[in-house]
Amino acid sequence: MTKRYIRKIRITITEEDGSNPIIFESEGRREDPTIDFHIQKTLSGIGEAVVLLYNLNQETQQRLITPRQNVEIELGYKDDKTLTAAAKGVTMSGFTTGEKRPDILTTLNIIDSYNAFVDSSFNRTYNPNTPIATILRDIIATLPRVALGTIDIDFKLNGIETTPATGSSKRIFHGSSEKILNELSRQYFFSGNIRDGIYSAYDTSKTSGTIFEISFKNGLLMTALPQLKYLTQLVTGVLITSVLDARINPGDIIRLETKTVPFINGDYKATLVTHTGSSHGNEWTTTIQQIGGIGAQALNTKINNLIKN
């Protein structure tokens, strides 16, 4: 194993107010703490993660299983100048099993911006043709612990309803902030998500994000398979597994090149990204799922052409 591929994990945990940090750092050496993790991020929605920490003392166990601890998971390799923040969130729950080493296991369930939507509500009235981006910025400004990221949508408010009280054509938003964000994304066909405490929104019809090449040539590709709809056998997307790269996020473009299934080679927008790994075990992968969209359409066209020929 070369130095480049010596994996590195850093977990930083602080109390709700950011105080009393505890840092777990591992390069897989015998004396390093044993850490397992599973991180899942979606193009629409809130990211989640599970962290497993082995053989902690009782005092540390009690501290970590207390809800609402801030957690940052950084991943990379030993010779990286900086590690990549793969996940940031707040513990929703935690528990410890086992009583004696080496079987003491502390599990932390983490959700991005946990409690951001608890008791959150939004009440505001907008004129016709108000940019949806303006409404999103106003909603996010009311949410605790959520910062505003990229808002890359050009839609304007339509479907204006006449208010009973005044008879004027305006749109009234009243109720749960989470429900309003979800309703807007469904009505105007954009993807909004909270990732690492930052809310971003993208037009799903646009190509956005960083391009990552995953190929049998650069040694990153592990498996790549088309995903088929059960009854019709229509291709709905692809499922790609690569050597772990924590920089990949939903919305990024995966430039796939596989030798075993060449007809699926092409560009795909990641809709679901999962990072799974262990400091001392074999698991160290990034799984990218692309469902629907231009990539799946192009793949079905390729298959139809192959059948015809």
The predicted model gives 198-211 an average pLDDT of: 80
pLDDT at residue 228, rounded to an integer: 75
The span from the CA of 175 to the CA of 121, in Å, is 5
What pLDDT band is residue 117 in, cutting at 50, 70 and 90?
confident
Question: What confidence category does residue 1 fall into, taking pLDDT thresholds of 50, 70 and 90?
Answer: very low
- Residue at 287: amino acid letter: T
Domain ranges of the chain: 3-111, 121-203, 211-308
Does pTM top 0.85 for this prediction?
A: no
What is the CATH code of the structural domain delimited by 3-111?
Answer: 2.40.10.10
Q: What is the 3-state secondary structure (H, E, C) of 94-153?
A: EEEECCCCCCCEEEEEEECCCCCCCCCEEEEEECCCCEHHHHHHHHHCCCCCCEEEEEEC
* CATH 3.40.50.2000 matches 121-203: no
3-111 shares its CATH topology with 121-203: no
Q: Which sign does the torsion angle of CA 267, 288, 252, 81 carry?
A: negative
The mean pLDDT value of the chain amounts to 85
CB 26 within 8 A of CB 74: no
Q: SS3 of 245, please? A: coil
pLDDT band, residue 162 (cuts 50/70/90): very low
pLDDT at 2: 39
State yes or no: pLDDT of 282 exceeds 60: yes
Which residues are within 8 A (CB) of 224 and not within 5 positions of it... i.e. 6 or more apart? 214, 238, 239, 240, 241, 256, 258, 260, 261, 264
Question: 3-state DSSP call for residue 162?
Answer: strand
Q: What single-letter DSSP state applies at residue 262?
A: G
Mean pLDDT of 84-98: 92
Q: CATH topology for 211-308?
A: Elongation Factor Tu (Ef-tu); domain 3 (2.40.30)
Percent of the chain with pLDDT over 70: 85
